[in-house]
Amino acid sequence: MPSFKAILSALVTIALVVIFNRSWTVGTTIPPLGKFLDPFHGFWRNAETRNIPVEETEMDGLLDEVSIFYDSALIPHVYAKNEEDLFFVQGYLTAKYRLWQMEFQTHAAAGRISEIIGDKSIDFDRGQRRLGMVYAAQRSVEEMEKDSTAKMMAHRYAAGVNAYIQSLNYETLPFEYKLLNYWPEPWTPLKSGLLLKYMAKTLNIGDKDFEMTNALKLFGKETLELLYPDNEHVGDPIVDNPNGWKFKPISLDTVPVALPRDFVQVDPLEKSAPDIGSNNWAVAGSKTATGSPILCNDPHLELNLPSIWFIVHLNAPGYNAMGASLPGAPAVISGFNDSIAWGVTNAQRDLVDWYKIEFKDGTKNEYLSDGKWKTATKVIEKISVKGKADVYDTMIYTHHGPVTYDKSFHVESESEKNNYAFRWIAHDPSKELLTFYLLNKGKNHSDYMSALNNYSSPAQNFVFACVNGDIAMRIQGKYPVRRQNEGRFVLDGTKTSTEWHAFIPNDQNVTYKNPERGFVSSANQYPVDDTYPYYVTSTSYEAYRNRRINSLLASMKSITPQDMMKLQADNYNLKASESLPGWLKMLDSTKLSDEEKVAYQKLKSWDFNNTVNAEAASYYEAWIRVLYPMVWDEVFDSKVSLPDPTAYTTIKLIKEKPELSFFDIQSTPEKETAVDVVRKSFSQGVKEIEKWKREKQKDPTWAAFKDSYIQHLARLEPLSYHVIHGGNGSIVNAHSRRNGPSWRMVVSLEKNGVKAWGVYPGGQSGNPGSPYYNNMIDVWTADRYFNLHFNSSAEQVKTFAQSSSTLKPKGK
Amino acid sequence: MKFIIQTLATILICFASQYFLPWWTLALASCAVGYYFNNSGFTSFAAGFVGVGILWLGMAYYLDTKTLAIMTEKINRLFPINVYVLLVVVGGLTGGFAALTGTLLKGKKLARY
């Protein structure tokens, strides 16, 4: 019989094991300390060295042997004997380096973050579901399943990811799972669909219909057009082809746009930052040193770790493509092969509408449509919450789409009348995977054109260049045919006449090939000249980057890839050059304080480059940050949500209409003009800089003041990095505090072999314990590139490979 | 001397069990070592604590030297307590109480605290 002490001691031991074997929530979540700290299996096992381990594995699911060669940047060059194995291994390798990120992003897309981090994200999760993200992904997966190629890609990729997941044990489990204490679930084609919809949401969900509706009611039509014009008519459109549109456009019966009578009292979900955008261009051989075209792409997205991109080189008979892939989706998204190169920027286009729904009664079972009651479909969404009870949300689907906003979600008054259904192009079935497959294998311009015919969302400006000398641009997406002004405001959901009746046929989309000027480019500006026969509108268009890029490209000759790299890193602040001289003249230089005099001198002698050490850039930024809300106090302080006028319009109005009533600051008794606002905001901006200097105890150099930050997806500070880098939004080097060039690629399409360079602010490995987690960041901030070794034979690749691995089918 | 022998035995047996099995098997291993050696309760507890502590510290230190502490540096900023201290407390307490339990279960000698 054990003694009392023995029993007590045994109980203490058991209690310790139990306590240390599970996670606890005390403010923050503490991982299971025994498991986590155990140096035999815990987090220490996620620490890695620069050596890339050789893998000789037999695995189920492979049809034949696959060789993988890694270069010094941990870029895998995959050599498979068939495409089934190629996508299997792409899935396997992407999971091996990025599994946690892949799953976290698709959980975010599906509104399942509360499962991992608890009740903080319930509102986010509800929002994702109410936007119909899973509904959209399901519909696109159904479409993928109908196409044998897309189906093969999605399923083989999923099988590869799952082969990796099955190989895991606690020791090899990615770090974040250990920290947050959960396990990965099996990968499915639906998750690939969710990832693509997540990108669609990031890029194409921009809309300001609610805000515009309120602005129209509050300000009237004339002021609305002054503050929020459809087209600012600045610079060249992406495709400038006046009177070149020789087709018969689809026309709709003219129905006057019925404007809603009431203010929209909705607190809209968070939108993408306005500095999310991208640059791409291609120059023809006539302008380059080698006589071959050069293509460049840099998509600007929120900069996070692990990075949104993963570089791969995929080779199989008939397939040889390299470039940036999205962890979670098969094939290369922005890249090149032996014959062609392609890249993407976001096409600014209104692809979102909101329909005000009239329900029969409080049960919301039926809603009005053309005088008849239609039945709504209800779906109960269950949101699992870590450490808390499940949350349920009832979603109502109309024929327009899901009712996102109703009295239980993000409305400012709990009226039964606030019901808005969401119509989004990404809800429609589509098969984007096929586009990328065909681009990966494309040989020429006509392959590019037919690849894009399969592409609907998110709408992108696809740049193209070919070894044979062709360059092209196509603004591809599925676009509803709109009547003038349709889609700018909330629509009446009780009338079918306002719905999307037709889509612009693919062969009528905006495109051109080999323009006379010798280059094509896009930087999220207005897409097309005024003779294009369809109505085009969007949340906003970028006014500066495109002009800077086009003016430089137009003047350049004998272009080398190094010139193109310099252009991607160009820090010239066109916005400042167009606004600052005028503003400085408005100041009364006799009445400046000592600090203001210093600022004035710095700004006056500035060359308008947002370089790392430029203090003037900080003063300008501080100034405009004060000026903008001071001008638009009527917008910011309004009780209803209103759209933000663009910086371009703001600057233009200061110059051209200084007496405009909006320049009056509402909180003061005086009547201010633009000059007063410019002066006041200058003084306050300088004060902000002085305050910053006192707090930080250092000089306000641009990079220090901007304080760019690349953040881990779980927002963990020790896994994130502050970086020193120039640039800003509206600048070609579009690196603001959190957003920037998430991938930079330059491809020279030379006849004797395609050469390419690429870099992104992160690293190939998603493991914070790997030297390859952040090794590209310093290269990226120095505006340097990695040579993307692209040799078509495995023999050549072996000559530079740091490590090679072989995956074999089991039992062969 | 007895303490040192039990400590060394704990390190050895726990290493063997940890190498193949989950972390909590160190409790079973340390308990078995405590049961086998006829030490006092205090000596046994200390041997379990120090044995597992040294084993874990040694292993962690070895991995840190190999990887330039790439992971430890980050975890130290993530946690409010130094991770080496935490490691010794968690491993040591579990190993110590397990060893004490082993000794007490055998129960031939009265434990002297």
Instruction: Provide the pLDDT confidence category of residue B111 given band limits of 50, 70 and 90.
Output: very low
Q: Per-residue pLDDT for A235 more than 90? A: no
Among A445, A461, A436, A532, smallest CA distance to A281 is for A461
Does the distance separating the beta carbons of B27 and A39 come in below 8 Å? no
Q: What is the pTM of this model?
A: 0.95
Among A677, A648, A645, smallest CA distance to A661 is for A677
| pLDDT tens sequence across A572-581 | 999 999 999 9
Q: CA geometry: angle at A433 spanning A430 and A439, to 5°?
A: 120
- Contact yes or no for A106/A194 (Cβ under 8 A): yes
**CA A749 to CA A735: how far, in whole Å?**
28
Q: CA geometry: angle at A647 spanning A641 and A648, to 5°?
A: 125
Instruction: Provide the pLDDT confidence category of residue A1 given band limits of 50, 70 and 90.
Output: low
Spell out which residues of chain A touch residue B66, defining contact as CB-CB under 8 Å. 47, 49
The domain limits of chain B are 2-106
- Pairing relationship of beta strands A310-316 and A319-325 according to DSSP bridges: antiparallel
pLDDT of residue A274: 67
Instruction: Provide the pLDDT confidence category of residue A257 given band limits of 50, 70 and 90.
Output: low
Q: Per-residue pLDDT for A795 more than 50? A: yes
> Residues of B at the A interface (Cβ-Cβ below 8 Å)?
18-19, 22-24, 27, 31, 41, 56, 59-60, 63-64, 66-67, 69-72, 74-75, 77-78, 83, 86-87, 90-91, 93-94, 97-98, 100-101, 104-105, 107, 111
| pLDDT tens sequence across A325-368 | 999 999 999 999 999 999 999 998 999 999 999 999 889 999 99
For chain A, give the mean pLDDT: 93
- Contact yes or no for A549/A281 (Cβ under 8 A): yes
| pLDDT tens sequence across A726-759 | 999 999 999 999 999 999 999 999 999 999 999 9
**CA A371 to CA A377: how far, in whole Å?**
19
Give the length of chain A. 812
The torsion defined by the Cα of A290, A292, A293 and A299, in degrees rounded to 10, comes to: -60
Q: CA geometry: angle at A65 spanning A62 and A66, to 5°?
A: 90
Average pLDDT over residues A574-593: 94
Interface A-B, measured as beta-carbon pairs within 8 A, has a size of 115
pLDDT of residue A207: 81
| pLDDT tens sequence across A32-64 | 999 999 999 999 999 999 999 898 999 999 999
pLDDT of residue A204: 80
**CA A160 to CA A87: how far, in whole Å?**
8
Average pLDDT over residues B36-48: 91
Whose tokens are 């606690």? That residue is A170
- Which residue in the set B31, B67, B87 is minimally distant from A37, CB to CB? B87
All residues at 6 or more sequence positions from A189 whose CB lies less than 8 Å from its CB, including other chains:
A141, A144, A145, A151, A154, A155, A157, A158
Q: Is A741 left (phi over 0), alpha (psi -120 to 50) or beta?
A: beta
Instruction: Provide the pLDDT confidence category of residue A275 given band limits of 50, 70 and 90.
Output: low
Going from the C-alpha of A460 to that of each of A238, A333, A733, the distances in angstroms are 12, 12, 20
Spell out which residues of chain B touch residue A53, defining contact as CB-CB under 8 Å. none
| pLDDT tens sequence across B93-110 | 999 999 999 999 887 555
Spell out which residues of chain B touch residue A179, defining contact as CB-CB under 8 Å. 78
| pLDDT tens sequence across A462-481 | 999 999 999 999 999 999 99
Instruction: Provide the pLDDT confidence category of residue B112 given band limits of 50, 70 and 90.
Output: very low
- Which residue in the set B41, B67, B86 is minimally distant from A33, CB to CB? B86
What domains can you pick out in chain A, each with its CATH number?
574-708 (1.10.1400)
Does the distance separating the beta carbons of A41 and B22 come in below 8 Å? yes
pLDDT of residue A148: 96
Choose the most confident range, by mean pLDDT, from A277-281, A330-334, A417-421: A330-334
> Residues of A at the B interface (Cβ-Cβ below 8 Å)?
2-3, 5-6, 9-10, 12-13, 16-17, 20-21, 33-35, 37-49, 170, 175, 179, 716-719, 768-771
Does the distance separating the beta carbons of A719 and B64 come in below 8 Å? no
- Contact yes or no for A305/A240 (Cβ under 8 A): no
Q: CA geometry: angle at A319 spanning A748 and A311, to 5°?
A: 60
- Which residue in the set B69, B70, B90 is minimally distant from A771, CB to CB? B70
Give the HSE-up count for residue A133: Cα atoms under 13 Å, Cβ half-sphere.
29
- Which residue in the set B19, B27, B70 is minimally distant from A40, CB to CB? B19
**CA A804 to CA A801: how far, in whole Å?**
7
| pLDDT tens sequence across A487-497 | 899 999 999 88
User: Tokens in use for B103?
Assistant: 């000794």
pLDDT of residue A265: 80
- Contact yes or no for B63/A44 (Cβ under 8 A): yes
Q: Per-residue pLDDT for A711 more than 70? A: yes
Q: What is the DSSP letter of A536?
A: -
Spell out which residues of chain B touch residue A23, defining contact as CB-CB under 8 Å. none
Does the distance separating the beta carbons of B67 and A6 come in below 8 Å? no
3-class state of residue A273 by DSSP: coil
Q: What is the DSSP letter of A671?
A: -
Does the distance separating the beta carbons of A170 and B56 come in below 8 Å? no
Whose tokens are 């190498």? That residue is B19
User: Tokens in use for A406?
Assistant: 């109703």
- Contact yes or no for A745/A297 (Cβ under 8 A): yes
Q: Is A206 left (phi over 0), alpha (psi -120 to 50) or beta?
A: beta
**CA A295 to CA A564: how far, in whole Å?**
9
Cβ neighbour number for residue A458 with a 10 Å cutoff: 24
Does the distance separating the beta carbons of A10 and B101 come in below 8 Å? yes
pLDDT of residue A417: 80
Query: Least CA distance to B113: which residue of chain A?
Result: A5
**CA B29 to CA B12: how far, in whole Å?**
10
Cβ neighbour number for residue A211 with a 10 Å cutoff: 23
Among A252, A757, A769, A267, smallest CA distance to A481 is for A252
Identity of the amino acid at A387:
G
From the candidates B17, B21, B24, which should be mutated to test the interface with A, based on the most A CB atoms within 10 A? B24
Burial A773-790 (b: 16+ CB within 10 A, else e): bbbbbebbbebebbebbb
Which parts of A453-559 fold into alpha helices (H)?
545-555
- Contact yes or no for A732/A549 (Cβ under 8 A): yes
Spell out which residues of chain B touch residue A719, defining contact as CB-CB under 8 Å. 74, 78
- Contact yes or no for A427/A201 (Cβ under 8 A): no
Q: Per-residue pLDDT for B36 more than 60? A: yes
All residues at 6 or more sequence positions from A14 whose CB lies less than 8 Å from its CB, including other chains:
none
Does the distance separating the beta carbons of A34 and B94 come in below 8 Å? yes
Q: Per-residue pLDDT for A184 more than 80? A: yes
Most distant CA atoms of chain A, gap in Å: 100
Instruction: Provide the pLDDT confidence category of residue A602 given band limits of 50, 70 and 90.
Output: very high
From the candidates A3, A4, A9, A774, which should be mutated to test the interface with B, based on the most B CB atoms within 10 A? A9
Give the HSE-up count for residue A382: Cα atoms under 13 Å, Cβ half-sphere.
5
Going from the C-alpha of A418 to that of each of A288, A365, A793, the distances in angstroms are 57, 16, 62
Q: Is A722 left (phi over 0), alpha (psi -120 to 50) or beta?
A: beta
Does the distance separating the beta carbons of B70 and A47 come in below 8 Å? yes
Among A731, A786, A750, smallest CA distance to A309 is for A786
Average pLDDT over residues A72-88: 97
Does the distance separating the beta carbons of B101 and A13 come in below 8 Å? yes
Among A344, A312, A347, A318, smallest CA distance to A330 is for A312
Spell out which residues of chain B touch residue A16, defining contact as CB-CB under 8 Å. 27, 93-94, 97
Spell out which residues of chain A touch residue B97, defining contact as CB-CB under 8 Å. 9, 12-13, 16
Does the distance separating the beta carbons of B111 and A771 come in below 8 Å? no
Among A689, A474, A522, smallest CA distance to A602 is for A689
Average pLDDT over residues A133-147: 94
Which parts of A697-717 fold into alpha helices (H)?
702-706
Instruction: Provide the pLDDT confidence category of residue A811 given band limits of 50, 70 and 90.
Output: confident
Cβ neighbour number for residue B62 with a 10 Å cutoff: 12
Identity of the amino acid at A567:
L
pLDDT of residue A107: 97
Going from the C-alpha of A32 to that of each of A58, A713, B21, B86, the distances in angstroms are 33, 21, 17, 12
Does the distance separating the beta carbons of A6 and B101 come in below 8 Å? yes
- Contact yes or no for A172/A767 (Cβ under 8 A): no
Cβ neighbour number for residue A655 with a 10 Å cutoff: 13
**CA A453 to CA A213: how far, in whole Å?**
34
Instruction: Provide the pLDDT confidence category of residue A486 given band limits of 50, 70 and 90.
Output: confident
Choose the most confident range, by mean pLDDT, from A493-507, A684-698, A779-793: A684-698
- Contact yes or no for A39/B59 (Cβ under 8 A): yes
Spell out which residues of chain A touch residue B69, defining contact as CB-CB under 8 Å. 47
Q: What is the DSSP letter of A412?
A: S
Does the distance separating the beta carbons of A716 and B101 come in below 8 Å? no
Q: Write the ipTM.
A: 0.94
Q: CA geometry: angle at A177 spanning A176 and A179, to 5°?
A: 60
- Which residue in the set A3, A40, A43 is minimally distant from B104, CB to CB? A3
Q: CA geometry: angle at A341 spanning A275 and A146, to 5°?
A: 90
- Which residue in the set B27, B66, B74 is minimally distant from A17, CB to CB? B27
- Contact yes or no for B25/B32 (Cβ under 8 A): no
Look at A205-214, A363-372, A445-454 and tell me which has the smallest mean pLDDT.
Answer: A205-214
- Pairing relationship of beta strands A420-424 and A403-405 according to DSSP bridges: antiparallel
User: Tokens in use for A378?
Assistant: 């209800």
From the candidates B54, B97, B103, B110, which should be mutated to test the interface with A, based on the most A CB atoms within 10 A? B97
> Which helix (H) or strand (E) covers residue A654, if one does?
helix A647-656
User: Tokens in use for A170?
Assistant: 């606690």
For residues A204 and A401, which has the higher predicted lDDT (pLDDT)? A401
- Contact yes or no for A372/A325 (Cβ under 8 A): no
